[in-house]
Amino acid sequence: GENVGLHLPTLSVQEGDNSIINCAYSNSASDYFIWYKQESGKGPQFIIDIRSNMDKRQGQRVTVLLNKTVKHLSLQIAATQPGDSAVYFCAETDTDKLIFGTGTRLQVFP
Amino acid sequence: ETGVTQTPRHLVMGMTNKKSLKCEQHLGHNAMYWYKQSAKKPLELMFVYNFKEQTENNSVPSRFSPECPNSSHLFLHLHTLQPEDSALYLCASSQTYPGTRSGNTIYFGEGSWLTVV
């Protein structure tokens, strides 16, 4: 099957720094991508999405970058806060069935 | 609060028990989903219902039996489960299915932690 995965299982950043979470995907036909945040004891929460006709999309303190050439997706969080501590998942699809990555745990320390 | 409520939040059951997980959404959505989340594994889609009709069954064993009496409620009936079925079961909803690529965001509940002993 197709593989959507994350380079690092855990990312530790200092409060106030920017965070970059990466995701690789292998299905070149995927045309829609989503980032989810899952806090401890909670379900995944939609953060931001991007379509394949774009290479960058910005939200509030978050930016998603898509590089279709190398099939790479990243989530940038500006001025990381303690409340950003969570597991972050990327998901991709070309058929409406979302394929999720295993997740990266973001730890924010003071 | 995402508008998707799951009960119970925690469940411990024996392999011969019969139990059910319940999900209710207050978002006016027409599609509801069951996902399984195991440790260190990606989220796995189990079932999708759209307007009360099952549209996806992702090769789920028959010991998991979904029920969707209306667009707001979804159940997962559990019978003779195995220890490897222990996981977090997530319910989700969206406006319709298909529709993910059209921007129909999927909203997740907080999950039901299931332990099979």
Cβ–Cβ contact B92 with A under 8 A:
yes
Residues of B in contact with A87 (CB under 8 A): none
- What pLDDT, on the 0 to 100 scale, is given for residue A6? 41
* Helix, coil or strand: residue B63: coil
The confidence band for B2, taking pLDDT boundaries of 50, 70 and 90, is confident
What are the strands, taking DSSP E only, across chain A? 4-5, 10-14, 19-25, 32-38, 45-51, 56-58, 62-67, 72-77, 86-93, 99-100, 104-109
Q: Give every CB contact of residue B11 below 8 A, 6+ residues apart in sequence.
A: B19, B21, B112, B113, B114, B115
Distance (Å) from the alpha carbon of A32 to chain B's nearest alpha carbon: 6
Q: What is the pLDDT of residue B97?
A: 85
**Minimal Cα–Cα distance from A110 to chain B, Å?**
27
Which candidate in B101, B107, B110 is best for mutational testing of the A interface (most A CBs within 10 A)?
Answer: B101
Which range among A67-71, B1-5, B97-101 shows the weakest confidence by mean pLDDT?
Answer: B97-101
- The answer to whether the Cβ–Cβ distance between A97 and B45 falls below 8 Å is yes
Closest chain B CA to residue A105: B40
Q: What is the pLDDT of residue B103?
A: 67
Query: B45 to chain A: which residues are within 8 Å by CB?
Result: 97-98
Rounded mean pLDDT of chain B?
Answer: 92
Are A105 and A8 spatial neighbours (Cβ–Cβ below 8 Å)?
A: no
Answer whether A91's CB lies under 8 Å from A24's CB: no
Q: What torsion, rounded to 10 degrees, do the Cα atoms A28, A64, A57, A65 define?
A: -50
Show Cβ contacts of residue A57 under 8 Å, excluding neighbours closer than 6 positions: A48, A49, A50, A63, A64
pLDDT interval class at B37 (50, 70, 90): very high
Q: What b/e sequence results for A31-52 when a residue is b if at least 16 CB atoms lie within 10 Å of its CB, and e otherwise?
A: bbbbbbbbeeeebbeebbbbeb
Exposed, middle or buried: residue B74 (CB in 10 Å: 0-12, 13-18, 19+)?
Answer: buried
Distance from CA of B27 to the nearest CA of A (A): 15
Q: Which of residues 72-91 of A touch B (CB under 8 A)?
A: 89, 91
Q: Could you identify the residue written with the tokens 């197709």?
A: A2
- Are A93 and B103 a contacting pair at CB < 8 A? no
Beta bridge partners of B34: B47, B91
| Intervals of chain A under pLDDT 50 | 1-3, 5-7
> Which is nearest to B13 in space by CA: B90, B111, B110, B113?
B113
Say which of B2, B92, B100 has its CB closest to residue A32: B100
How far, in Å, CA of B72 to CA of B76, rounded?
Answer: 14
Token pair of A23 as six digits: 């995701």
Cα separation, B57 vs B49, in Å, equals: 9
> A46 — contact with chain B (CB < 8 Å)?
yes
